[in-house]
Amino acid sequence: MLIKFERDHRKIGRLGMLFTILLLTAGCQSFSNPPLIAQIHPDPDPTLSAYGWVGVAFSQPMEPESVENAFFISPEVKGEFLWQDTTLWFRPIHPFAQDTTYQARLSGDLLTTSSEAIPVDKSWSFSVRQPALIYYVPMGESGEIWRLSPEDGSPFQLSRTGGQVLEFAVERSGEKIAFTVKNDSGGKDLWYMDRDGNNQQRLLECGQDQCSEPAWSMDTAWIAYTREVFNPDTGGYSPAQIWTVDIDSGETQALYQSEFAFGHSPAFSPDGKRLATYDTTQKAIRILELSTSQESAIPRTLSGSGDWSPDGKQILFTDVLPAENEPFVEIYRLDLESQNIQFALGEASTDTDFSQPRWSPDGNWIAVSLRPVNTGISRALWVLSLHGLNPILVDGDPSATFSAYQWDPWGENLVYQRTEFSSSGVDVSIWRWNWKTRQRELLIENGARPLWLP
């Protein structure tokens, strides 16, 4: 089945710069004129990430609606159109499927901005690559970023900073990695690199300021990050604020004009339309609508911006509920359209201490570590249904704690960090749990903070 897609004519990003100039003939045009279609993507490598973008670059300005009406992908997948100069991009909202060959087609009479109608019939195929896994290898107070190959499971060091990396973040399509690096002034700089570790470059020199928590915008044109400004008079730092930096120019500025807008934990919604942060002044999740600059705030005692639903329309977050003995932590679900807040699991889970949950890609399950309060039991890692189905235990070893759990794009595998405390010290490792087999396996010893690299 062929489907047409939602439209978004915003001009975005710098993704057109990824193309090399390939002249591909399409349609009926005179010999002296350049071909209408200058490039297609993906090409020449016919593979994309689960969230990769399909594109067509034109040799002249086009009338957007005529092009979008002529563009199809089969099998169907929900997504949206975006334009960058004369390049049309299709971005999937849900991941492309594994083990599937997709066909993109541009067929029909396309209108240029000068109202010239040009017939085109062009098609190309692509498939989806397996995601890799990147992770952190601690080296004292900092470390380096490594990658685990999806083909043979071999490890490969990506960053090469002399063990100075502190944090890292992957942009949604998996092509770029941002990371923070300790500098010689005592601050943290922002860097980024390609998915294979090439083209490592400093994006922002922060001097004595602490620049941290990078988060990619949907179009990869800019990064939101947390900045603590150094005060030479006191020798300390001002409270954290949210800043942004342009990838091409390196220009940076505070997200909010008020000097008292303090916050941290920036997180873009999967559809790229909203930015959530934690406002430390209001003690609330602050949600910014990027197209309108409208804002809303959801009071929350615990810090953090929560976890976005796969469609970007809801947020899961935890908060403290008082109790007679030990307070417990409940999970809430916020619907952004109705502004309704309800218990995520249908009703209050009395006397349970939850960590921050992570939504599964299908939106039906959450991964979360939890423990009963008023007991000496340690947290166990569970997968819980949002629709009342039986819970599934992932790992309940009482000698370990579990964190940094992340679903792959299809919800088939869950990776997580396992920390074990013993008389000899602290051991961290990365494990993978499979949805179908319900089995877990050790992937990496001395590894932490796993992230999927689509």
Supply the CATH number for residue 114's domain: 2.60.40.3710
Q: What is the pLDDT of residue 28?
A: 40
pLDDT of residue 33: 60
The pLDDT assigned to 3 comes to 38
Look at residue 125 in the predicted model and tell me its pLDDT: 96
pLDDT at 413 over 90: yes
What's the whole-number mean pLDDT along residues 73-98?
94
> Looking at the domain assignment, is residue 63 inside a domain?
yes
95 and 35 within one domain: yes
Distance CA 216, CA 284 (A): 22
Number of C-beta neighbours around residue 443 at 10 A: 18
pLDDT of residue 85: 94
**CA separation (Å) from 8 to 71, 76, 408?**
14, 18, 27
Asked if the structure places residue 53 within a domain, the reply is yes
Based on the domain organization, do 105 and 190 belong to the same domain?
A: no
Dist CA 41 CA 122 (whole Å): 12
Q: Kindly state whether residues 115 and 224 are assigned to the same domain.
A: no
| 224: CATH | 2.120.10.30
Query: For residue 426, how many other CB atoms are within 10 A of its CB?
Result: 9
254 is a domain residue: yes
Bridge-based pairing state of the strands 241-246 and 358-359 = unpaired
Please state, as a whole number, how many other Cβ atoms lie within 10 Å of the Cβ of residue 164. 21
The string over 203-220, giving b where at least 16 C-beta atoms fall within 10 Å of a residue's C-beta and e elsewhere, is bbebebbbbbbbbbbbbb
Contact by Cβ (8 Å): 208, 227: no
Position 336: which residue type?
Answer: L
Q: In the listed set 265, 280, 305, which residue is the last one of a domain according to the structure?
A: 305
User: pLDDT per residue over 196-224, tens digit each?
Assistant: 999 999 999 999 999 999 999 999 999 99
Instruction: Give residue 20's pLDDT band: very low, low, confident or very high (50, 70, 90).
Output: very low
Confidence of residue 349 (pLDDT cuts 50, 70, 90): confident
| pLDDT confidence tier of residue 323, bands split at 50, 70 and 90 | confident
Query: Tokens 């960090």 label which residue?
Result: 417
Query: Number of structural domains, the chain?
Result: 2
3-state SS of 333-346 is EEECCCCEEEECCC
Residue 30, classified by CB atoms within 10 Å of its CB into exposed (0-12), middle (13-18) or buried (19+), is exposed
Are 172 and 227 within one domain?
yes
Mean of pLDDT over the chain: 91
Which of residues 28 and 394 earns the better pLDDT score?
394
Q: Quick one: average pLDDT of 13-36? A: 46
What is the tens place of the pLDDT at every residue in 143-199? 999 999 998 889 999 999 999 999 999 999 999 999 999 999 999 999 999 999 999
Contacts of 25 (CB under 8 A, 6+ apart): 35, 37
Length of the chain, in residues: 454
**Could you give the CA distance from residue 159 to residue 143 in angstroms, rounded to a whole number?**
9
pLDDT band at 427 (very low <50, low <70, confident <90, very high): very high
pLDDT at 431: 98
pLDDT in tens, 97-120: 999 999 999 999 999 999 999 999
The answer on 245 and 194 residing in a single domain is yes
Is the domain of 182 the same as that of 108? no
CA distance 453 to 314: 24
Q: Is the pLDDT confidence value at 32 over 60?
A: no
Both 286 and 168 in one domain: the answer is yes
Same domain for 177 and 292:
yes
In a domain, 339, yes or no: no
Residues 189 and 237 in one domain: yes
Least confident segment among 13-17, 99-103, 308-312, 356-360: 13-17
User: Are residues 74 and 186 both part of a single domain?
Assistant: no
User: Where does a domain end: 243, 277, 305?
Assistant: 305
197 and 262: one domain?
yes
Rounded to an integer, the average pLDDT of 265-281 is 96
Instruction: Report which residue type is found at 271.
Output: D
Provide the domain limits for residue 293: 164-305
- Domain membership flag for residue 431: no
Domain finish residue from 128, 150, 180: 128
Task: State the amino acid at position 281 in one-letter form.
Answer: T
188 and 77, same domain (yes or no): no
Distance of CA 423 to the CA centre of its chain: 37
Q: Is residue 10 part of a domain?
A: no
- Residue 74 falls inside a structural domain: yes
Is 233 inside any structural domain? Answer: yes
